[in-house]
Structure 1
């Protein structure tokens, strides 16, 4: 995971994982179905943990800040002619 990313130049594969970029080299580790299942479960586990520990927490914090400041994005979008 510490090696350079082939997708995001200048970043590591850990960064790929954090950014949600699926690395197809995970598929190339083995052709055995049980290995692919383990890799898929590992990927899903990592995604879920990052999502709940980082992304959802961040979104909740931003929503709280917006609420404290009286920002209503739905109302603002409607006033600007958005959906």
Structure 2
């Protein structure tokens, strides 16, 4: 994860694995050590969260709306955004 963070133009990191093995725990631990703040979004608990992504995929708009949705300021290179429990279709 350190190598991923150090890349200049890194893409989103996807951590795949079975349920209940510590993926979110590891992401939070990494975030606490390497970022000023962490914002966590859970698609299972926030049914309206997916609406933010339906309009378009404009990163500036998405970050602005995620900030409002979470009530937290999201700062570039200082905030780790974690998404959990994507709904299965």
TM-score, length basis structure 1 = 0.26
More helix by share: 1
More strand by share: 2
Q: Which has the higher contact order (CA 8 A, sep 6+)?
A: 2
